[in-house]
C-alpha cells in the first residue's frame, strides 16, 4: 500500500500555516500599539486547527436525529477581536504583555511542529534506507 505524503504531513503543515497567520496578526497588533482606536485581534489556534482537521474526516448523518456539522473554515476566518481587559483612553486595545505571551506561545507551537515534522521525515528515511546511515 502506497503512502500518501500529502496526507501524512497535512495536519502538521496546516499547523505551520495557522501559526504563520497568527504571527502576522500579532505583529500587526504590536505595530499598531500606539495607534488611537486600534482594536487588537487574534486567531484562536485550537479552533483553527479543529476547522482544518474537519476536511480530513468525512462525516455523514445516518439517521434523522443526527446533527449535521458546519463546514470547515480557514484560519483567516477565525480572526477575532480581543476583549480588552483595560483599554487605553484613546480606544486602543493592544496589551503588550498579552501580545508577548501570544507570540511566545505561537513560537513554541511552531517549533514543536517543526520537531514533529523532522521526526516523521527521519522515520521515513529510516524506513527507506533500512536503518543504514
Q: How far apart are the first and last CA of the chain?
A: 25
Report the distance separating Cα 2 and Cα 15, nearest Å. Answer: 24
DSSP secondary structure of 60-74: ---STTPPPPPPP--
Largest CA distance in the chain: 65
Give the model confidence (pLDDT) of 2-42 as tens digits.
677 778 888 888 889 999 999 999 999 999 999 999 999 99
Helix or strand run (H / E) with residue 75: none
pLDDT bucket at 62, cuts 50 / 70 / 90: low
Give the model confidence (pLDDT) of 33-50 as tens digits.
999 999 999 998 788 877
What is residue 60's predicted lDDT score, i.e. its pLDDT?
57
* Global pTM value: 0.73
Least confident of 25-34, 54-63, 74-83: 54-63
What is residue 98's predicted lDDT score, i.e. its pLDDT?
93
Report the distance separating Cα 40 and Cα 81, nearest Å. Answer: 6
Every domain of the chain and the residues it spans: 5-129
Report the distance separating Cα 71 and Cα 68, nearest Å. Answer: 9
What is residue 78's predicted lDDT score, i.e. its pLDDT?
80
Amino acid at each position: 500500500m502506497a503512502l500518501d505524503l500529502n496526507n501524512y504531513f497535512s495536519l502538521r503543515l496546516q499547523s505551520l500555516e495557522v501559526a504563520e497567520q497568527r504571527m502576522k496578526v500579532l505583529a500587526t497588533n504590536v505595530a499598531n500599539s500606539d495607534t488611537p482606536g486600534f482594536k487588537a485581534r487574534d486567531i484562536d489556534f485550537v479552533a483553527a486547527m479543529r476547522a482544518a482537521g474537519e476536511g480530513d474526516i468525512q462525516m455523514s448523518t445516518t439517521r434523522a436525529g443526527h446533527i449535521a456539522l458546519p463546514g470547515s473554515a480557514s484560519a483567516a476566518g477565525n480572526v477575532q477581536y480581543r476583549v480588552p481587559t483595560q483599554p487605553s483612553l484613546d480606544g486602543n486595545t493592544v496589551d503588550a504583555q498579552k501580545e508577548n505571551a501570544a507570540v511566545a506561545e505561537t513560537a513554541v507551537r511552531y517549533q514543536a511542529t517543526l520537531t514533529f515534522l523532522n521526526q516523521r521525515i527521519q522515520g521515513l528515511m529510516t524506513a527507506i534506507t533500512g536503518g543504514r546511515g
